[in-house]
Amino acid sequence: MKFRLLPLFLVAVLFVFSACSDDDDSTPVTPSNKISVTNLSPISGSIGTTVTIKGTNFGTDASELTITFGGVVVTPVSVANTEIKVIVPGTLPIGATSIKLKRGTGSEVTVQFTVEDPIVGAWTSEGTNVAPLLYGAPFNVRKIVATFKADGSYLVVQTDSSGTTLNLTGTYVAADGNAAAPNDKIRTITVNQASPTSVTAQGIYEVTVGESGTTMKYEIAQTAPPLTGVTPPTAAAGFGSTAAAGQPLGALNIQNYVKN
């Protein structure tokens, strides 16, 4: 019996030793937090613009990511292992800035971005968002699609109640309104229309980035050829300050847009 038990005992010992050796060689593998960025699109845009960051090893858990846009902490709109989408914060000034991101304790990656004037982009105003002065007779405007380009040109397509469209083109110059709070976010604009007729107008606008989208309040009045008794709105006086014959027009001349 002893000779029969010994081989069995040796086999058992060898099995236990082998199992222990396998356990000792198995060390936990920590997932890599190192990320890389391969593409940024677009590389410039106005506040409210959705920016797509492509790269590798982003993971799928937004809570693992730390992302700042111009120093402002942002929560991504969506996260995939190779793609992140973020929105340009509404508080950023115009000019060059950076996006910084990292995953967990991994190293930080920085990419450059340029914030354009907040008016840049395509906007739509329709229905009750159209200024009452334009909605009523004789204009009867029901929809306006305005596209302001970064090169200072614009295209406005107006559609009236009969479905007829009118294209307005020209250039614009925007600037800081330099108004005190609560009007400190209002900017000024000078529009030089070239077609269908030559007209100059001055006004104000303010862009707001919200959770459900980006909106713009816009008010403008013709200054050349001058309209008797009409004065354009100012950033200091705020929206509703367009005056005709010395009297403010109030909400009648305020246009509301939603960014496309």
Distance CA 122, CA 158 (A): 13
pLDDT tens column, 43-59: 999 999 999 999 999 99
165 has pLDDT over 60: yes
The predicted pLDDT at position 12 comes to 38
pLDDT tens column, 194-208: 999 999 999 999 999
What is the residue-averaged pLDDT of the chain? 90
Map tokens 């942002």 to a residue.
Answer: 74
pLDDT band at 239 (very low <50, low <70, confident <90, very high): very high
Average pLDDT over residues 172-182: 97
32 has pLDDT over 70: yes
Architecture of the structural domain at 36-115: Sandwich (2.60)
Average pLDDT over residues 215-242: 97
The predicted pLDDT at position 125 comes to 98
Specify whether the CB–CB gap between 127 and 243 falls below 8 A.
no
Distance CA 3, CA 152 (A): 98
8 has pLDDT over 80: no
Q: Say what the pTM is.
A: 0.82
Map tokens 């990511």 to a residue.
Answer: 65
Instruction: Tell me, rounded to whole angstroms, the distance of Cα 119 from its chain centroid.
Output: 11
3 has pLDDT over 60: no
The predicted pLDDT at position 26 comes to 52
| Domain spans in the chain, listed from the N-terminal domain onward | 36-115, 121-259
Beta bridge partners of 206: 217
The predicted pLDDT at position 137 comes to 96
DSSP symbol at 136: S
Give the pairing type, strands 44-45 and 109-115: parallel
pLDDT tens column, 103-144: 999 999 999 999 999 999 999 999 999 999 999 999 999 999
Distance CA 79, CA 86 (A): 9
Label residue 33 exposed, middle or buried (CB < 10 Å: 0-12, 13-18, 19+).
Answer: middle
The predicted pLDDT at position 98 comes to 98
Of the chain, the percentage scoring pLDDT greater than 90 comes to 85
The predicted pLDDT at position 31 comes to 62
Distance CA 63, CA 245 (A): 58
Sheet hosting strand 83-87, strand order edge to edge: 36-41, 50-56, 83-87, 78-80
CA distances from 81 to 37, 78, 167, 184 (A): 11, 10, 44, 40
Indicate the CATH number for domain 121-259.
Answer: 2.40.128
Of the chain, the percentage scoring pLDDT greater than 70 comes to 88
Quick one: tokens of 199?
């007209």
More confident residue, 1 or 33: 33
pLDDT band at 252 (very low <50, low <70, confident <90, very high): very high
The predicted pLDDT at position 69 comes to 98
